[in-house]
Structure 1
């Protein structure tokens, strides 16, 4: 496939007003993407698949160029993007909050905790919870409301206690 389509694909990409080197990189990336695809296209669709992939890479290139044109130093552009990874302080705070929530959940009566876990952790509907626990779905709902109220009050009380200590 590479030998058959490389030259034509290179000409196709160069017609998009790209330098020879950049066009060659895009053609290489095109073949890499095709090879990395879990199921290669059938032979009769191979050419259109290659051209579509190459065209999409050209479009992506021009989008990046347009974005980088707004930045004074394109080499530093990606260094200015905020990191989504939580910092150590956020990780510590999240772990503390999880411990507080676990303590509040542990204090719930079992019948309320079961509904809470099935709904919030398991993502189950109240109808499904009712079937699993052998209770009406309305009872599952009212238990969830009660569980949420108790957990919210426990978390608020814990926060007040912490504020008083500080």
Structure 2
């Protein structure tokens, strides 16, 4: 274990983009080694909760979506696209600028040449229409 810590310390120090001044080099080296030792014991403490540490990753939940989740998400995206395409252009423009491009209502107002309050009102209307359209899809 000590050899591994020394090797890991060396690798950390060598790969550090900006090393400290020479007067702090020894402290930096010791601190790096100390942190690696602490990390090692933390991992050991966690692994004691698992009966077979070699199989620890077999019991970790997989974050990848299931085929059903992928199919459902694609279906929802298609429904959303249909809903957005059905919006009047002035509402769709505000929706796209706000939700897809992340612009503020002030920025949208400047870009579209409308007051900020109008941009906000159009967004409220767009969200209401999209929500209604998505609910209709669910009822089918």
TM-score if structure 2 supplies the norm length? 0.90
Aligned with residue 86 of structure 1, among 46, 51, 65: 65
What residue number does 2:76 align with? 97
Per-residue CA deviation, residues 109-166 of structure 1 (Å, 9 max, x unaligned), is 11111111111111111111111111111111111110001111111101111xxxxx
2 CA distance for matches of 1:49 and 1:102? 55
Cα separation, partners in 2 of 1:25 and 1:124, compared to 1, 3 Å: same
Deviation at 1:63, TM superposition (A): 1.0
Shift of 1:66: 1.1
More contact order relative to length (CA 8 Å, sep ≥ 6): 2
**Offset, 1:34:** 2.5
Shift of 1:106: 1.1
Give the alignment's TM-score, normalised by structure 1: 0.77
Structure 2 counterpart of 1:109? 88
The SS at the match of 2:18 is coil
**Shift of the alpha carbon at 1:96?**
1.5
Tell me if 1:121 matches 2:100: yes
Q: 1:121 to 1:70 in 2, by over 3 A?
A: same
Cα RMSD, aligned residues only = 1.5
- Match of residue 68, structure 1, among 47, 50, 64: 47
For 1:103 and 1:52, how far apart are their aligned partners in 2? 58
- CA shift at 1:60, angstroms? 1.1
Deviates more, 1:150-159 or 1:92-101: 92-101
**Structure 2, unaligned runs of 5 or more:** none
1:52-73 CA-partner distances (Å, limit 9, x unpaired): 2221111111111111111222
Q: What's the counterpart of residue 145 of structure 1? A: 124
Task: Specify every segment of 5 or more residues in structure 1 that has no aligned partner in the other structure, as ranges.
Answer: 1-21, 162-166
- Please give the per-residue CA displacement for 1:11-64, whole angstroms capped at 9, x wherever unaligned: xxxxxxxxxxx1110111122222333334443333222222221111111111
CA distance in 2, matches of 1:123, 1:33: 38
User: 1:38 and 2:17 equivalent?
Assistant: yes
